[in-house]
Structure 1
Amino acid sequence: MKHKNTTLLLLAFAFISIGHAQKKFPNLESSKNSLNYKGRPSNASDRKSLAFSDKGAWFAFGFLESSAAQGGFSGPYLLTEQNGVWISPSFISLHLMNENQKEIIDWKMTLVNQNSYNSHLEQEFKNDKITVKQQLFFVSGHTALQKTTITNRSSQKISLFPSCESKLFLDDLQLSKENQQLKIVSTKSEAIGYIQFSNATAIEITKEGYKVQIEKLTLKPNETKEILVSQTFIFPQYSWQKEKESLTKINFETELERNKKEKELQLAKLIANKKDIYKNEIYSNLVAKLVLTLQNNTRIAAEGLRHDGLFPSYNYQWFNGFWAWDSWKHAVAVANYNPELAKNQIRAMFDYQEPNGFIPDCIYRDHLIEQNNYRNTKSPLAAWAVWKTFEKSKDKKFLAEMYPKLKAYHNWWYKERDHDQDGLCEFGSTDGTLIAAKWESGMDNAVRFDNSTILKNSEGAYSLDRESVDLNSFLYAEKLFLSNIAAIISLPIETATLKKEALHLKEKIQKQFWDQETAWFYDSTIDGTTLLKDMGCEGYLPIWAKVATPTQVKMAKENMMNPAIFNTFVPLPTLAADHPKFKPEGGYWRGPIWLDQSYFGIKGLYNYGYTAEANELSHKLIHNAEGVMQAGEAIRENYQPLTGKGLESFNFSWSAAHYLMLLLKE
């Protein structure tokens, strides 16, 4: 009877604790497990599972699935080398031995739950003798803290002999003991790892890994004791000594509580800014999932990446860098909750601006793995990103800092990418290759470029033999954003000049790229006499940029709302569904849904007052794309427009960014 009462008391306490957490952190609780981090890394390069990180750290963790459970989290997954590798299945794997040197708990059989939050990870194991709870969160961009609490559930005193040990996947890592801590050095990275264990009594470097013995724990009935471990992976540009000193001042519970409050407040502010049509809690949980997707891709400055920013996807081997137009889009979304990160994402690309104004396509941390790509740039959305970031930050100094750089980049297009100097630009390349010129558009294999050729403008400057409607719409919008910036920083002459240039360009776009018969905007031949009638997503951009006439938008809207053309199951594909070359799966830019383009189309309809139509397309985009509304499912790089199937990379930043933009008020 006494045992039964104790059990009921513990259950009651558990329910009270859950209720308290839900009341104190309602958004974190409601959105828990929005991404599934469970997996079973079988080798260093296994990318089948996702991983959690925070604070811009270059490493991440997950959960071991129940059939492979150990006394620790999976990982770390190191982004400090080789574009992402698992150091081991579970590097900090706890063992709890009794006095007979037998494991007191079967981790696989006693796993009770695993829960992930935007703030931290936690898991719990329980048998008839003990309860083990583990929590992990990032205290900085260099260090994660892990706490294990062990509670004696029995009526007898228990003695435990804890240890941690692991075997490594990687043969390039060298482990050593340094001042009662484990040091990890790699031959493939400058970053150094430091693992500190509370109350370690012995550290042994083994042939395949390490083993750490922790002092004996004696627990009376219902008594709880803790084991703390810090895991630091830090690049030489940062001070390990300062990081180590800061860790001595941290209280785990206090810091975790602070982290929860920070994340809860972040979500609360975003949720309060949702559009009225998205007030339902399911969209609040989606907001949390989108922010977490962006969080997992965020990296602090390191080596070749001189400012903080976001990867397109840490989960894909070749997306471990910053891309120009990805960066502009990331910044616009991130500015809604972290304007400083948005500013730094923009600065990261401008760190590599050439004297002539050119911005490279992509930049990387380690140039021995991948070289920055100077063969092409990307569509000019930088001024949009700067202006949208200013709207959230109100930082005039940032505008003053960026304006001359933006102006140089804007002018570069007219110097290097206007073959016939008629004021309408073309995509192109610096090395004269056709493939790089297509990359510059961002729509690498789009049908509109199938029969294109390359033209030389000057040394190191080449153009495709067509003037693109999306590029010139971007440049029109950029003139207006630059004009806005010039006005704020008191440059009245430049403000007026840019507005005048925009008006002149607007007239050209409306006339040269519009086809009255099919009611769509197309690229044209370089002389402007012939439209290249492959109906694609580039036609959304004059509507987004507000360069189209109201009549043109009214007509184009009919195509956008037509199920046989653009209003597919997941709407606004990159190529019209009735085009003979439409390839909805495996087509890349020849049919699949890319969220940036769908966003531009929907935002364009909002711009011209077609709210009902924009809402309809938004609803389908959110609800019909596979996994977007499902807890545990990752946001994908693109989607199949007819079925909604997720395609290409997982955990894709710009998809998350544009979904977030759709959900929020301006």
Structure 2
Amino acid sequence: MRIRSFFMMIGTGVLTAVAVSSCARASATNERRHDFPDVFDIAYTPDTLHGHNGLFTDAGAWIGFTPPEKGNWVNGFCGPYSIDMNRRQWLAKSAVTVHPTSAGEILSDSTCYYPGELLLSAKYNDGEIRQQLHFIDANSMLLTVESTLGCPLQYSGEGWAEGMELTKNGNSVFATHDSGETFVISFPQDVYLEVKDGNYLAETQRGNIGHIALGFFYTKDEAMAGVSRILTLLDDPGAALADNRKRWEGYLAATLRDDMPADYDRIAVKSMTTLASNHRAARGGLLHDGIIPSHAVGYFIGLWAWDSWRFCAGAANFDPELAKNNIRAMFDYQQPDGMVIDCIYTDPAENNARDSKPPLVCWAVDKIYEATGDKSFLAEMYPRLLAYHKWWYAKRDHDGNGMCEYGSTDGTLEAAAWESGMDNAIRFDDVNMLANEGYGDAWSMDQESVDLNAYLAQECRLLKKFAEILGEKFDAPDHSGKVADYFFDKDRKFFFDRKLADRSFAGDPGCEAYTMLWTRLATPEQVKDMMPLLQDTTKFSTYIPFPTVAVDNPKYNPRGYWRGPIWLDQTYFAISGLRNYGYGELADSYTRQVFDRLDGLKAGAPIHENYDTHTGARLKAPHFSWSASHLIMLYKEYTGK
């Protein structure tokens, strides 16, 4: 057989019938993941070497795949796609395509994306070829090919990227990019294999069930050293696939409740799968595994501080080891003065130490502890957490009154706004920067922030809890008793930031006030006073509830990032906060608004960074871990039926 030219459709034909879908066939199994077919619609056939709609990726791998589009079919999974921040591209249109030696045209095709499993089926006159793809770990995958055609099968790659060199090593193909990234395709010993003319051809002697082991390495030397481990997957593929099933069944068991509507279960599974898909293994400057904000967007291929704390809170129940390592990854770069920097990347030269991020890490550690009871992890983290807590009062309390401000190490308002996490929030429109006396690297906004001090009060409470569990000393500042009264405006009956110059309340009603309910710092009387504003449909009780600023604010912008849209962390803080004060039925009602109205949430659409508060339309980055994590928490806390 002549090896086909690149980007040429192989085995296509007019679809004249509808085959029994891969989803329908798999649903007959007893695996719980098969209750959730097509959890995401990520079909994409790369006709260029860039772009995708999200990837099937798992176990921390730095590559992903997509099922082909029905209108642009390839008889194999598309990819791999390299996820690294600095070089994101398809290494192949399809590194492994399957061709029967005598079967005619494909009559119909189908694909399905289950949690942790990608399926593809092509039906011919005389039978069917069915492919399954599973990640075994961060470096290895198993491709299972089942054929009922009765003829030998041939395999080749299609559409290799420019800069790829293919070589043969034993019965393995090494496809090495000039960046060094190497994709390995290993066949059983009874499969004929040749590499020539920039591609490979493999042919089976029989056409029933077979396995192909796939590997991905950052350099060719790593591939040479690791190929033997990839080959062991072919010795006992059943055991490796059983491990994959066990891992995902464990994820599902830890995530799902037995008393929820099926469509809400689907939301929880989508959310958990989003977090699992954004897991990246330790690489380069990322010294521990972690969860990135979104594998689908190049500028989000790194770890951010408060993003990480949120992700870890969501992942604590189903993958606590990943949550622990994500926290360790951020603290690998803790500064000598205790600061935890904003974000870190595989290339440490890209790290941002101009600012920190809102302090929610003790909350995440507590979630992990509650899920695992792991005192050793508490003991490992406690001194680091304590040092970080002290840093805020040393470097971000301009006048020493125990109320902190967001700031930066370089004196810029840009970095200080980043430190708040709410980059362009309306409340910062009139802020100025002040140098903190005695420190050349410490600057504060001239405004004390209610959310920051609420977070610090909660962190203080949790640090005391950890100290008691461990028998350790707590010797950090504790100003939590002053926060509620200090930031509550009795005239407007809401919580606001305060200006340093005259202690006046700053800005207009916004989402920063929700944190006072979530952290349980507000008094019941204050919450009662807030309820008319919170339930006002012209302000916060909107189609999707609890926007980042009241919608009747003249500066409100439905697509304005932190100046209007729904961010699900803030919506979660408000709903969970209402639950804290006995408004459970109202909290459930708002949860249903979120679950029932966000665009595509119950279907195959990805979970997005933020949403339009009036329509539920998806905004900004897709496959977003932050939103997914808070959807899991909303699901866990929901009490309605």
Q: Same fold (TM over 0.5)?
A: yes
Identify the residue that residue 305 of structure 1 maps to in structure 2: 286
Cα distance in 1 for residues equivalent to 2:584 and 2:304: 32
Q: Does 1:214 align with 2:203?
A: yes
Report the alpha carbon displacement of residue 175 of structure 1 after superposing the two structures with TM.
2.7
Identify the residue that residue 232 of structure 1 maps to in structure 2: 215
Note if contact 1:177-1:205 (Cα within 8 Å) is conserved in structure 2.
no
1:507-552 per-position Cα deviation (integer Å, ceiling 9, x unaligned): 2x22321111221111110146211132110011111111111111
Report the alpha carbon displacement of residue 238 of structure 1 after superposing the two structures with TM.
6.9
In structure 2, relative to structure 1, the CA distance for the partners of 1:527 and 1:166 (3 Å cut) is same
Q: Does 1:548 align with 2:522?
A: yes
Which shows bigger deviation, 318-327 or 33-42?
Answer: 33-42
Identify the residue that residue 105 of structure 2 maps to in structure 1: 106
Identify the residue that residue 623 of structure 1 maps to in structure 2: 596
Cα distance in 2 for residues equivalent to 1:143 and 1:87: 16
Show the 5 A alignment for 1:48-197: 49-80=53-84, 82-98=86-102, 104-107=103-106, 109-111=107-109, 113-152=110-149, 159-160=151-152, 162-169=154-161, 171-189=162-180, 191-197=181-187
In structure 2, relative to structure 1, the CA distance for the partners of 1:245 and 1:505 (3 Å cut) is closer
**One-letter amino acid matched to 1:178:** N
Note if contact 1:302-1:365 (Cα within 8 Å) is conserved in structure 2.
yes
Q: Does 1:649 align with 2:634?
A: no
In structure 2, relative to structure 1, the CA distance for the partners of 1:558 and 1:23 (3 Å cut) is farther
In structure 2, relative to structure 1, the CA distance for the partners of 1:20 and 1:84 (3 Å cut) is closer
Report the alpha carbon displacement of residue 260 of structure 1 after superposing the two structures with TM.
2.5
Q: Secondary structure at the match of 2:393?
A: helix
Report the alpha carbon displacement of residue 602 of structure 1 after superposing the two structures with TM.
1.1
In structure 2, relative to structure 1, the CA distance for the partners of 1:517 and 1:19 (3 Å cut) is same
Q: Secondary structure at the match of 2:80?
A: strand
2:46 corresponds, among 34, 37, 41, to: 41
Report the alpha carbon displacement of residue 239 of structure 1 after superposing the two structures with TM.
7.8
Note if contact 2:255-2:272 (Cα within 8 Å) is conserved in structure 1.
no
**One-letter amino acid matched to 2:542:** T
Show the 5 A alignment for 1:510-521: 510-521=484-495
Cα distance in 2 for residues equivalent to 1:212 and 1:592: 52
Q: Structure 1 regions of 5+ residues with no counterpart?
A: 1-13, 99-103, 153-157, 218-223
Identify the residue that residue 10 of structure 2 maps to in structure 1: none
Note if contact 1:445-1:589 (Cα within 8 Å) is conserved in structure 2.
yes
Cα distance in 2 for residues equivalent to 1:621 and 1:110: 38
Q: Does 1:611 align with 2:603?
A: no
Report the alpha carbon displacement of residue 46 of structure 1 after superposing the two structures with TM.
1.2
Cα distance in 1 for residues equivalent to 2:228 and 2:529: 63
Q: Does 1:375 align with 2:343?
A: no
Cα distance in 2 for residues equivalent to 1:225 and 1:478: 58
Report the alpha carbon displacement of residue 357 of structure 1 after superposing the two structures with TM.
0.5
Report the alpha carbon displacement of residue 75 of structure 1 after superposing the two structures with TM.
1.0
**One-letter amino acid matched to 2:253:** A
1:89-116 per-position Cα deviation (integer Å, ceiling 9, x unaligned): 2121223334xxxxx3434x431x2111
Report the alpha carbon displacement of residue 186 of structure 1 after superposing the two structures with TM.
3.1
In structure 2, relative to structure 1, the CA distance for the partners of 1:126 and 1:95 (3 Å cut) is same
Q: Does 1:245 align with 2:244?
A: no
TM-score (structure 1 length as normaliser): 0.88
Q: Secondary structure at the match of 2:71?
A: helix
Report the alpha carbon displacement of residue 554 of structure 1 after superposing the two structures with TM.
1.1
Q: Secondary structure at the match of 2:95?
A: coil
Note if contact 1:56-1:141 (Cα within 8 Å) is conserved in structure 2.
yes
Report the alpha carbon displacement of residue 654 of structure 1 after superposing the two structures with TM.
0.8
Q: Structure 2 regions of 5+ residues with no counterpart?
A: 1-19
Q: Does 1:270 align with 2:247?
A: no
Note if contact 2:446-2:501 (Cα within 8 Å) is conserved in structure 1.
no
1:595 corresponds, among 549, 568, 572, to: 568
Cα distance in 1 for residues equivalent to 2:376 and 2:80: 39
Note if contact 1:512-1:528 (Cα within 8 Å) is conserved in structure 2.
no
Which shows bigger deviation, 526-535 or 636-645?
Answer: 526-535
Cα distance in 2 for residues equivalent to 1:427 and 1:172: 46
1:579 corresponds, among 537, 540, 553, to: 553
Identify the residue that residue 639 of structure 1 maps to in structure 2: 611
Report the alpha carbon displacement of residue 202 of structure 1 after superposing the two structures with TM.
3.4
Identify the residue that residue 32 of structure 1 maps to in structure 2: 37
Cα distance in 1 for residues equivalent to 2:292 and 2:184: 25
In the comparison of the two structures, how many residue pairs are matched? 613
Report the alpha carbon displacement of residue 242 of structure 1 after superposing the two structures with TM.
5.3
In structure 2, relative to structure 1, the CA distance for the partners of 1:465 and 1:173 (3 Å cut) is farther
Cα distance in 2 for residues equivalent to 1:69 and 1:435: 46
TM-score (structure 2 length as normaliser): 0.91
Note if contact 1:162-1:216 (Cα within 8 Å) is conserved in structure 2.
no
Identify the residue that residue 469 of structure 2 maps to in structure 1: 488
1:10-31 per-position Cα deviation (integer Å, ceiling 9, x unaligned): xxxx99x968954612x31221
Cα distance in 1 for residues equivalent to 2:403 and 2:313: 26
Percent identical among aligned pairs is: 36
